[in-house]
Chains A and B, each alone.
Chain A
Amino acid sequence: MARELLMELQDMQINYRTRAGRINAVRSVSMDIRKGEIIGLVGESGCGKSTLAMTFLKLIMPPGEIVGGKLLYYGYDNGEGPVSVMELQGGKLRRYRWKEVSMIFQGSMNSLNPVMRVEDQIIDVMIDHDFPEEEARTNVDKYLSMAGMDPSTKRSYPHQLSGGMKQRVAIAIALTCSPKLIIADEPTTALDVVVQKQIMDQLKGLRDRLGVSIVFITHDIAVIGSLADLIYVMYAGKIVESGPVSEVCNRPRHPYTAALMSASPTLKGEKKRLNGIPGSPPDLKQTIVGCSFAPRCPFAFERCHIEEPQLKMLEPGHKAACFKLEDVK
């Protein structure tokens, strides 16, 4: 049941130029996003996942710079083949943003304009994407209720809403132009678990009803286990393991994924000790020699410190980058 390809990220490399030197935030990441698929992107703070999220909307701005790779969008059904997002400019770029790919930002608390009513922030984006004002106005209620909000809140200003409500408004705004892909960058991080669950269910429901693809970015692998179809595990700017949720969560192959899994508690099953991952991620300003996880990896051996492992197909759809796995073969 191969779904249709929507977005293809090839070998993306993004740097930040700082006074202290160049930071390699994203080091060669490839990812396929198919229609109606929910992809979970997991990684700890500073691993480059938010930077990667910005790429989908071409929002990387100085001091960030894309130094290599391609982003191909297949969503335009005009028979002209994929569009390179990095080459979009001016009006084309403006129309691509939100109409094709929209985003729920990390910390939606601050991503709403404080001096505009909720409804106006829904209407303005629709008008600027060529919907008639009449239609935009009548659809406000629809989008708010899709995001699980009471439509009567549309007259509110952001400061009158709670954190969870603002998050829902952000989701409602993300839906406005019926995008084909929604990037959700840690949309539930600042919320309590009950609201978190509700919002996850909302997103899942939207995928089921609207067939929209979602890239869900989080640092909490337990959160996306129930939501995503595919998981990409990112470490130090690289994908270290990817595959279907059931595979990756139940049989993590990369030591980092395994460590992430054992660092989060399960509701069911036997009680076990939670283990943190000792050490801290590598400094991305430095050129990393060998496997980036090697200094923290309990299984690391000599080769890991010298050579960099590449992603290797283990089973159909399940990839990991680790020398240990090659030896097993």
Chain B
Amino acid sequence: MVVTIFIALTLNFLLPRLIPGNIALTILFDKYGSHLKPQDLKLIESQLDLHGSLLQQYQIYLVQVAHLNFGYSFYNYPESVSSIIAQSLPWTIFLLGSATVISVLIGVFYGSYIGWKSGTRQESFLSTFAITLSSLPYFWLALLLQLFLAVVITVDGVHLFPVALAYSTSVTPGANLPFILSVLHHLALPLMTLVITTYPGYALLMRNTIVNVLGEDYMLMAMAKGLRVERIRKRYVTRNAILPVSTSVALSIGYIVGGAFIVEEIFSYPGIGYQLYQAVTNFDFPLIQGIFLIITLSVIFANFAVDLIYAFLDPRVTLK
């Protein structure tokens, strides 16, 4: 894992620097134009750690990363990358975390249900429904939901859901009820988009594993043993079927931190995905670099967690 992290760090350092030209200066020039003086350039260069040889820069970079210092955002200069990430990470974790939990719960129950009913007409209908939902492009669904539930449809002249942002500008952030309600109200549409497009994936995976487990020899034996249906369901079917699903869930945890790029952008939800989108459109390389690093690290850690969880769930897997 240490080696993986090191390679990720190095690539993360090299990739932006492989782009030809002094992009940092180009951007700053774009922004401040004729106000920039030669001495300012020197100052900014040293501020952004863009001086010295590549090896020297690499050294500085590693030290900085070790201190969780990712430098300054070009576009939002002089705001630091760390502070931008610190501001947007909670929103992303909140949105994606709740979406993942809800999708997994719905997916597992839905999948178990259709798995048990496999071969029936009801099952083929529900499976087709799930496949249809999972193949909807989520940005399209996001736009549709936004258009209809936040713009077109009104009840007594009031829109059902807000169009964008994480909370209303009229409330003060803090542990007060109006703020919390506003946050939940703003969460609804992006959450719906994510849940509707991700739960069918879990459902279909669960259905497939259940169908596989039902065909196993130990299921026939469980039937022959005259066990209660409840026990067969819990200890024989679900217990075995949950293994592949848990892998898929744990892996998706790694991507929670990355945010939902387009959904966050469509709803102007101030999470990591939104910041990344902004950073990319504004050539804000330190920010892109910082966000990529966070995403890479969380995926690596999630993979590690999957291994641990799997060893716990499946007795056939042992940790060495």
B121 at the interface (CB under 8 A from A): no
> Is residue B79 contacting chain A, with contact meaning CB distance below 8 A?
no
Tell me if A124 and B226 are in contact (CB < 8 A): no
List A contacts of B220 (CB < 8 A).
59, 105, 111
Does B316 lie within 8 Å of A159, measured CB to CB?
Answer: yes
Residues of chain A in range 50-93 having any CB-CB distance to chain B below 8 Å: 57, 59, 93
Task: Decide if B45 is an interface residue (CB 8 Å cutoff).
Answer: no
Within 8 Å CB of B240, what residues of A? 113-115
A97-B226, A99-B226 given as contacts; is B231 within 8 A of A111 (CB)?
Answer: no
Give per-residue flags for B201-241: 1 if the beta carbon is below 8 A from chain A beta carbons, else 0.
00000000000000011101111111110010001100110
From residue 103 to 125 of chain A, which have CB atoms closer than 8 A to chain B?
A: 103, 105, 107, 110-117, 124-125
Query: Is B225 a contact partner of A97 (Cβ separation < 8 A)?
Result: yes
A124 CA to B235 CA, complexed, in Å: 10
A98 at the interface (CB under 8 A from B): yes
Contact of B225 among A93, A107, A114, A128 (CB under 8 A): A128
**A159-B315 contact, Cβ under 8 Å, with A113-B222, A173-B225:** yes
Q: Check A137 for interface membership: any CB of B closer than 8 A.
A: no
How long is the Cα–Cα vector from A116 to B235 in the complex, in angstroms? 8
Contact B224 A98 (CB under 8 A): yes
| In-complex Cβ contact of A110 among B218, B235, B239, B243 (8 A) | B218
With A and B bound together, what is the CA distance between A97 and B235 in angstroms?
19
Query: What is the bound-complex CA distance between A103 and B217, given in angstroms?
Result: 13
**Contact residues of B: prevailing secondary structure:** helix
Within 8 A of A (CB), among B257-274: none
- Chain B residue numbers with a CB within 8 Å of A157 are 315-316
Contact between A115 and B239, CB atoms less than 8 A apart: yes
Contacting pair B218 A114 (CB below 8 A) = yes
Answer whether residue A22 sits at the interface, using C-beta atoms and an 8 A cutoff. Answer: no
Cβ contact within 8 Å between B315 and A107: no
Q: Which of B226, B227, B235 has the most CB of A within 10 A?
A: B226
Q: How many residues of A contact B (CB 8 A)?
A: 28
Q: Which residue of A103, A113, A128 contacts B224 across the interface (Cβ within 8 Å)?
A: A103
From B243, B313, B316, name the one whose CB has the most chain A CB atoms within 10 angstroms.
Answer: B316
CA of A116 to CA of B222, assembled, Å: 12
Q: Does A94 contact B (CB under 8 A)?
A: yes
A195 to chain B, nearest CB (A): 20
- Distance to closest chain B CB from A182 (angstroms): 11
Cβ-based interface call for A96 (8 A)? yes
Given contacts A115-B240, A128-B225, whether A105 and B217 have CB atoms under 8 Å apart is yes
A21-65 vs B, Cβ < 8 Å mask (1 yes, 0 no): 000000000000000000000000000000000000101000000
Q: Give A96's nearest chain B residue, CB to CB.
A: B226
Q: Is A95 an interface residue (CB 8 A)?
A: yes
Report Cα–Cα, A125/B228, bound state, in Å.
9
Spell out A's residues near B (CB within 8 Å). Answer: 57, 59, 93-99, 102-103, 105, 107, 110-117, 124-125, 128-129, 157, 159, 173
- Residues in chain B within 8 A of chain A (CB atoms): 216-218, 220-228, 231, 235-236, 239-240, 243, 313-316
| A-B CB contact pairs (8 Å), 13 listed | A59-B220, A59-B223, A94-B226, A95-B226, A97-B223, A98-B226, A111-B221, A113-B222, A115-B240, A115-B243, A124-B231, A124-B235, A157-B316
- Which 10 residue pairs of A and B lie closest in terms of their CB atoms, listed nearest first? A97-B226, A110-B217, A111-B221, A157-B315, A111-B217, A94-B226, A98-B226, A125-B225, A113-B218, A128-B227
